[in-house]
A and B are shown apart, each in its own frame.
Chain A
Amino acid sequence: MKIIHDGRTYVYPMSLTEITLGQAIELEDKIRTKQEDYKTQIDQEEDKEQKQLIQLQWQLENAVDSFSFYTGISSQEVKSNFDVLQIVQAYNAAQNIQAEESKQLNDEKEFEFNNELWCIESYELTPKSKMTFNEFLTAKEMVRQMQELGQGNTNSLLYLCCVYLRKHDEPFTEELIDEDGERMELMRSLPMNIALSVGFFLTSITNLYLKDLLSLREVQETQG
């Protein structure tokens, strides 16, 4: 969506295809503390009207922060010089479009990205399955550590994409999850529609594993 203000044109992304995984992580990190504060305020507030006011304020802050982040204009300037109603409308429209796109994600396994074909290898757990213990272990341990450190789910998704989204027949190596490595940098530029497809696919496969294997059932019970 293009927004014109003071003779300049600003672009605000509406679709998941226009937002990269790296951008989603940065925005999540930027607003995490504010989100937690608002959640706490809402939980602690008993008065229904006050609760609604706080929710409205939270929605307004989300819209301003999101607009500020993607356009590069400071939040202060957005609040002072822009029609805030227009910002909120754009934000709500983007959220609705992205929610609809998320619902349409299916268990697609192949994607075109960076002029190459990428795929999530078939991870059906059979005697012919190529997945090594290291690959499975690395992904699970990274997600666990991210959660322990209070990192958002989007950060975990970056690591999962590094492990599971690979070029055809590319084997897993630990270099793929090197924080300063080329792969991690490339995955930050992954469009969110592909990143979320990877997450969706892995969620359904992980549930399958946990249902079938006794050795993993204890893990499921321990981790809740």
Chain B
Amino acid sequence: MSNHFEKYGWVSFLSYIADSRIFDISGMNSIDAAKHTKLYPILVWASEKKEKEELIASYYERLNKK
């Protein structure tokens, strides 16, 4: 994963945001829509999503251990 991120850098993050389609704008493709969106809401959304995914992963890990 880290090798992938090293190679593709921030473009990888752009595709992650675009894939979510959360920031889609009518008349634009998802990539352009993500680019035109303000930075602040994107970073806050991505931070919250990451934290949520970590919490869920941690929950299932504890379930599997039981």
Contacts and interface: CB of A to CB of B under 8 A. Distances in A.
Interface of A: 125-127, 129-137, 140-141, 144-145, 209, 213-216, 218-219, 222-223
A137 B14 CA distance: 8
**Chain A interface main SS type:** helix
Interface residues of B, number: 25
B38 interface: yes
Contacts of A140: 9-10
B42 A133 contact: yes
A134 B50 contact: no
A216 B37 contact: no
B51 A134 contact: no
Given A125-B40, A213-B43, A133 B14 contact: yes
A64 B5 CA distance: 42
Contacts of B40: 125-127, 129, 131
A134 B28 CA distance: 14
Given A213-B47, A214-B50, A132 B9 contact: no
A216 B43 contact: yes
Given A222-B5, A222-B6, 10 more contacts: A129-B40, A132-B39, A133-B38, A134-B35, A140-B9, A141-B9, A141-B11, A214-B51, A216-B47, A219-B10
